[in-house]
């Protein structure tokens, strides 16, 4: 391994140590969904605030029904009628029952709710003033949801760092919150570098190609929850690149370029980053994506990705995505890794870690099999579009052989997912 080339783990550790947490903001629940909480949520009241019926039926005193059976039905007088939102003021005396709807508070004196379907109506319509009969005893607490079943007043219902789900939004609302604190979404400036690049709507002339990377990187930044902003294409002219980079670091929390990061004649980005700030590494022992620069420019984290599309995309996945997650307060930074049997031989020449764009599936016998895309050319996007994992070939291996068990990084599953 070349001396200035560092491992993926070291590269990540360096980046993680340099990026700071985003400041907090208070946002409506739905906008916080999917994001980690920056502050805990506690409830001001018991959830639910009162014991209530889980069924439509009759609130009864179980002591009245101890001897009830099919042969010996016991009749009670219905002395009240309660719907959700209405309260029966009195108490259920011996020999009495209250007609009760789901969600209505269990009246005083009652210790069970018998569901409507198993109660016989002897006289009346089943409501107030009716007489009803029971042919079985009731259990204490039957069909009653206790007060504070979800949480008692003052309890923390959502912890710092917890990623809010739709259910969590409901829980926060029960606790009296309409908004929660989260970390701001980082603004990510994206710049494409290369004199050969034209915008996607242009049919490229001779020697020119369409700027494809910025579309990938904008989407990848948005997918991770950041706010991407494309600053455009800079030709291979150091002053033009500098101007765009400085504008981006001025306005953003993170800046990502693609292209111009190798050691070619027109690759200026690393030198510029060093002039304007500090560079911590410029080579990572991975493929695709060897030429990757990380630095701080005016204090703003900057990653210069390689220009080849797959290299830029895998570089974002391995280095930028986890950094942005860390800034947003996510605790889980690793996608799950799954073992699978590789179906074909794959040679490897360089002592770098290979991330082979691959598809993982179950064979007829139900075993996991992984097949690398036929071409691992780093100029290709399609192989990544169709991949669901990156097959990891370790630095020191000379390849994989059909039948080997290998590690597959599940880029189709979220960080922290359990397999
Ligand atoms: P570079 O890192 O500038 O040497 O670029 C490596 C390769 O990636 C060259 O073939 C470039 O033309 C190509 N490339 C660089 N930037 C982009 C981009 N934004 N979209 C598509 N291809 C690119
Ligand atoms: Mg270039």
Task: Please check the confidence at residue 1 and state whether its pLDDT lies above 70.
Answer: no
Q: What is the DSSP letter of 47?
A: B
218 plus 257 within the same structural domain = yes
Q: Do the domain assignments include residue 105?
A: yes
Give pLDDT, residue 85.
84
Q: Which of 207, 263, 308, 377 to mutate to test the pocket of ligand 1 (most atoms within 8 A of CB)?
A: 308
Q: How many CB atoms lie within 10 A of CB 397?
A: 15
If you average pLDDT over residues 229-255, what whole number do you get?
97
List the CATH number of the domain containing 397.
2.40.340.10
- Structural domain count of the chain: 4
Same domain, yes or no: 113 and 221: no
Min mean pLDDT across 193-202, 213-222, 255-264 is at 255-264
Q: DSSP E strands: which ranges in 306-416?
A: 337-342, 346-347, 353-362, 368-372, 389-393, 399-400, 405-409
Domain boundary among 295, 327, 359: 327
Q: Please identify which residue in the block is written with the tokens 């959830």.
A: 47
- Of 304, 327, 350, the residue at which a domain comes to its end is 327
Burial class (CB in 10 A: 0-12, 13-18, 19+), 349: exposed
Write the CATH number for 109.
2.170.190.11
**Ligand 1 pocket, 209 CB below 6 A?**
yes
Q: What is the number of H-type helices and E-type strands within the chain?
A: 9, 28
Mutational test site, ligand 1, from 244, 271, 304, 307, max ligand atoms within 8 Å of CB: 307
**Among residues of the chain, what percentage have pLDDT more than 90?**
95
Question: DSSP 3-state assignment of 139?
Answer: coil
Residue 4 pLDDT > 90, yes or no? no
The number of the ligand nearest the C-alpha atom of 311 reads 1
Full domain range(s) for residue 371: 337-409
Q: Do residues 295 and 302 touch, judged by C-beta distance below 8 A?
A: yes
Confidence of residue 358 (pLDDT cuts 50, 70, 90): very high
Residue 332 lies inside a defined structural domain of this protein: no
Task: Give the CATH number, domain containing residue 19.
Answer: 3.40.980.10
Rounded to an integer, the average pLDDT of 125-146 is 97
- Confidence at 343, pLDDT banded by 50, 70, 90: very high
**Could you tell me if 100 and 158 lie in one domain?**
no
* CA 194 / ligand 2 centre spacing (Å): 5
Are residues 348 and 364 part of one domain? yes
The reply to whether ligand 1 has any atom less than 6 angstroms from the CB of 295 is no
pLDDT value for 127: 93
Same domain? For 205 and 278 the reply is: yes
Q: Are residues 271 and 171 in the same domain?
A: no
Specify the pLDDT at position 2.
45
Mean pLDDT of the chain: 96
d(CA 288, CA 393): 12
User: Does ligand 1 have an atom closer than 6 angstroms to the CB of 257?
Assistant: no
Residues 191 and 308 in one domain: yes
Which of 196, 207, 209 best tests ligand 1's pocket when mutated (most atoms within 8 Å of CB)? 209
State the pLDDT at residue 3: 53
If we measure between CA atoms, which residue out of 140, 114, 134, 137 comes closest to residue 122?
Answer: 134
Atom of ligand 1 nearest to the CA of 233: 19
Q: Looking at residues 318-342, what average pLDDT do you find?
A: 98
30, part of any domain: yes
Are 109 and 89 in contact, with CB atoms under 8 Å apart? no
Q: Is residue 417 part of a domain?
A: no
**Helix, coil or strand: residue 155:** coil
pLDDT at 265: 78
25 token code pair = 């903001």
Specify if 359 maps to a domain.
Answer: yes
Q: Does residue 161 lie within any of the structural domains? A: yes
Residue 191 lies in a domain: yes
Do 251 and 109 belong together in one domain? no
Last residue of a domain, one of 183, 204, 236: 183
pLDDT, average across residues 178-184: 98
> Do 33 and 130 reside in the same domain of the chain?
no
Q: Report the chain's terminal Cα–Cα distance, integer Å.
A: 33
Tell whether 415 is covered by a domain.
no
Token duo for residue 319: 């280095």
Strand partners, 229: 189
Q: Give the closest residue to 172 by CA, choosing from 47, 329, 85.
A: 47
Same-domain check for residues 190 and 290: yes
Residue 399 predicted with pLDDT over 70: yes
- Residues 153, 256, single domain; the answer is no
**How confident is the model over 39-70, as pLDDT tens digits?**
999 999 999 999 999 999 999 999 999 999 99
12 and 83 share one domain? no
Give the atom of ligand 1 at the shortest distance from the alpha carbon of 267. Answer: 3
């Amino acid at each position: 391994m070349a001396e200035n080339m560092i491992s993926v783990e070291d590269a990540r550790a360096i980046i993680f140590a340099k990026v700071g947490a985003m400041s907090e903001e208070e946002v409506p629940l739905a906008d916080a969904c999917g994001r980690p909480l920056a502050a805990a949520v506690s409830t001001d009241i018991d959830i639910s605030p009162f014991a209530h019926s889980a069924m439509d039926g009759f609130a009864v005193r179980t002591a009245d029904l101890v001897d009830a059976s099919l042969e010996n039905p016991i009749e009670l007088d219905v002395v009240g009628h309660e719907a959700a939102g209405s309260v029966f003021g009195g108490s259920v005396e011996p020999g009495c029952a209250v007609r009760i709807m789901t969600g209505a508070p269990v009246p005083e004196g009652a210790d069970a709710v018998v569901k409507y379907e198993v109660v016989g109506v002897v006289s009346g319509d089943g409501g107030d003033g009716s007489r009803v009969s029971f042919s079985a005893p009731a259990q204490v607490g039957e069909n009653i949801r206790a007060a504070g079943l979800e949480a008692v007043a003052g309890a923390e219902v959502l912890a710092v760092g917890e990623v809010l789900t739709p259910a969590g939004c409901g829980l926060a609302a029960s606790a009296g919150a309409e908004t929660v604190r989260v970390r701001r979404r980082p603004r990510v400036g994206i710049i494409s570098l290369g004199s050969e690049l034209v915008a996607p709507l242009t049919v490229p002339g001779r020697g020119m190609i369409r700027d494809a990377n910025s579309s990938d990187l904008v989407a990848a930044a948005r997918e991770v929850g950041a706010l991407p902003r494309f600053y455009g294409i800079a030709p291979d002219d150091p002053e033009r690149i500098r101007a765009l980079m400085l504008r981006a670091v001025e306005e953003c929390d993170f800046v990502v370029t693609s292209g111009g990061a190798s050691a070619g004649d027109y690759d200026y980005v690393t030198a510029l980053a060093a002039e304007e700030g500090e560079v911590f590494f410029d080579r990572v022992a991975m493929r695709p994506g060897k030429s990757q620069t990380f630095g701080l420019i005016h204090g703003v984290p900057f990653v210069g990705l390689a220009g080849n599309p797959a290299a830029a995309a895998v570089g974002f996945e391995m280095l930028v995505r986890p950094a942005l997650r860390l800034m947003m307060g996510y605790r889980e930074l690793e996608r799950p890794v799954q073992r699978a049997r590789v179906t074909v031989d794959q040679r490897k020449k360089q002592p770098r870690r290979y991330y082979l764009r691959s598809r993982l599936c179950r064979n007829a016998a139900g075993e996991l099999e992984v097949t690398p895309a036929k071409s691992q050319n780093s100029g290709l996007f399609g192989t990544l579009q169709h991949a669901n994992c990156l097959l990891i070939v370790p630095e020191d291996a000379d390849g994989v052989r059909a039948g080997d068990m290998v590690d597959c990084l599940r880029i189709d599953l979220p960080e922290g997912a359990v397999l």
